[in-house]
Amino acid sequence: MNMPQSLGNQPLPLEPPSLGAPVEEPGATSPPEHCWPVRPTLRNELDTFSVHFYIFFGPSVALPPERPAVFGLRLLPVLDSGGVLSLELHLNASSLRQENVTVFGCLTHEVPLSLGDAAVTCSRESLAGFLLSVSATSRVARLRIPFPQTGTWFLTLRSLCGAGPRFVRCRNATAEVRLRTFLSPCVDDCGPYGQCKLLRTHNYLYAACECKAGWRGWGCTDSADALTYGFQLLSTLLLCLSNLMFLPPVVLAIRSRYVLEAAVYTFTMFFSTFYHACDQPGIVVFCIMDYDVLQFCDFLGSLMSVWVTVIAMARLQPVVKQVLYLLGAMLLSMALQLDRHGLWNLLGPSLFALGILATAWTVRSVRRRHCYPPTWRRWLFYLCPGSLIAGSAILLYAFVETRDNYFYIHSIWHMLIAGSVGFLLPPRAKTDHRVPPGARARGCGYQLCINEQEELGLVGPGGAPVSSICTS
């Protein structure tokens, strides 16, 4: 009863008369009251909260001047209460025959409108409904009721002649309207600034719009607090271009001959850039592939960048390092499929990799009887700054980042993570050119001699000096 009348887009008449008792012309007599039959509707369920109601011999309805048309819409409990009930009226102007006809529609819950019971405003002491009207000047009327009450809704249509505020009963004009009634999950699919989502609370399933960029309302159409186009463009560029901070770590990794690590950083930079370009609300959106694929690759690349960097710092044997790389990729893929937004998806692999790093460095320090890494410059200028930068990034991601400050906090996260990689990635391992003491040249059991001129087809039939190449 408290639903605002603004859900319909048609203005109300100034002083509308009763539907059941229209103003008569002088000398006209009102016919006796009758009980009009309710015309049933067919129900066609398409999906969750997606139902179309069809009328017999429809969708066009002919409204003779002497009686209204009443339709019943049955909404099932639980199944239909979580969506949006929409009703549309389209007037066929060619059926009016140059007469000033206005078709009024009144939608009420559980109590049908009968002659003499309700007014055009669809309200009385114990009943409140929703009003629609179409005429030659305004041929389309729409009404949307979010989360409607279950039960039977009655729609009464009646045509009256004249202009407001006084209407009279039409004599010979039969108006024709096109009726469309359906149940949908969200209003207009939430538009370009929202996303329609199915939610469940205490075993109650309903659909609602999740608005972005400051837009609000049932269908994300309220722009009172919306972000401007310039701000949206700035936030998109900031989130995308901040990934260019991965270029220095990629170059550094290639120079240090960490080719696999450089490939992971490149993968992260590429998919993070295009994921954030596709994740933006409104019209500043650019998607090169499906959104879900971009999101998965972005999250996987971010976690793998942390994983391979910490494992590379441990300086393990090549076989062990390759096994850990592959195992980490498979486990992280499984974790992201379970919960992509979980905090432990980042903290879990990081802590596990740090445990491997601490174990490797402790064993190496015990064997050498010296702290590892051995140089204080490595600790002062690389490890300590890199650890502080990475720790700050994790703290920002876990405790500071919110939906309101996402644009700049997440951009800072990109730059801090990329910067920490540049500090923490270890230098290239020095190769030992000394020959082991037990090594000596080993002879071969045979030699393969190849006549180079014969292979090139330069030896004639008369014979020529043989220049052979012998290989072990």
Q: Please, how many CA atoms are within 13 Å of residue 440, restricted to the half-sphere of its CB?
A: 2
450 located within any domain: no
**Between residues 233 and 463, the one the model is more confident about:** 233
Instruction: List the structure tokens of 64.
Output: 């003779």
One domain for residues 155 and 131: yes
Give percent of the chain above pLDDT 70. 80
**pLDDT tens digits, residue range 202-250?**
878 899 998 888 889 988 989 888 888 888 889 899 999 999 999 999 9
Beta-carbon neighbour count of residue 393 at 10 Å?
A: 20
Given a contact cutoff of 8 angstroms between Cβ atoms, the answer to whether 63 and 159 are in contact is: yes
Q: Is residue 261 part of a domain?
A: yes
Q: Mark whether 292 and 170 lie in a shared domain.
A: no
pLDDT confidence of residue 345: 75
Residue 100 falls within a domain, yes or no? yes
Note whether residue 445 is domain-resident.
no
- 443: pLDDT strictly greater than 70: no
* 103 and 194 together in one domain: no
Residues 180 and 270 in one domain: no
User: Do 96 and 149 reside in the same domain of the chain?
Assistant: yes
Question: 212 and 82 in one domain?
Answer: no
Mean pLDDT of 246-259: 93
Mean per-residue pLDDT, 343-357: 83
Distance, CA of 178 to CA of 134 (rounded, Å): 11
| Residues with Cβ within 8 Å of residue 290, at least 6 apart in sequence | none
Beta strands in 2-150 (DSSP E): 38-39, 41-47, 50-55, 60-63, 69-75, 84-91, 101-109, 130-134, 140-146
178 C-beta neighbours (distance < 10 Å), count? 16
pTM value is 0.60
In a shared domain, residues 203 and 158: no
**pLDDT at residue number 34:** 53
Return the sign of the alpha-carbon dihedral for residues 315, 318, 322, 327: negative
- pLDDT score, position 114: 57
Buried b (16+ CB within 10 A) or exposed e, 233-256: eebbebbbebbebbeebbebbeeb
Residue 453 pLDDT more than 60?
no
d(CA 148, CA 343): 38
Whole-number pLDDT of residue 13: 42
For residue 74, is it within any domain?
A: yes
The reply to whether 180 and 240 lie within a common domain is no
Which CATH number is 47's domain given? 2.60.120.680
Question: In this structure, is residue 208 part of a structural domain?
Answer: yes
Predicted local distance difference test score (pLDDT) of residue 168:
78
pLDDT surpassing 80 at residue 379: yes
Query: Which token pair is 258?
Result: 């960490």
pLDDT at residue 289, as a whole number = 92
Is residue 320, in this structure, part of any structural domain at all? yes
Does 196 share its domain with 274? Answer: no
**Domain boundaries, position 202:** 186-226
Mean pLDDT within 48-53: 88
| 431: in domain | no
Domain count, the chain: 3
Q: Are residues 199 and 237 in the same domain?
A: no
Q: What is the CATH number of the domain that holds 210?
A: 2.10.25
Task: Give CA–CA dist 147/335, Å, rounded.
Answer: 36
Whether residue 348 is found in the same domain as residue 218: no
Mean pLDDT of 419-423: 90
61 lies in the same domain as 190: no
CB-based contact 448:470 (threshold 8 Å): yes
d(C-alpha 255, C-alpha 422), whole Å? 12
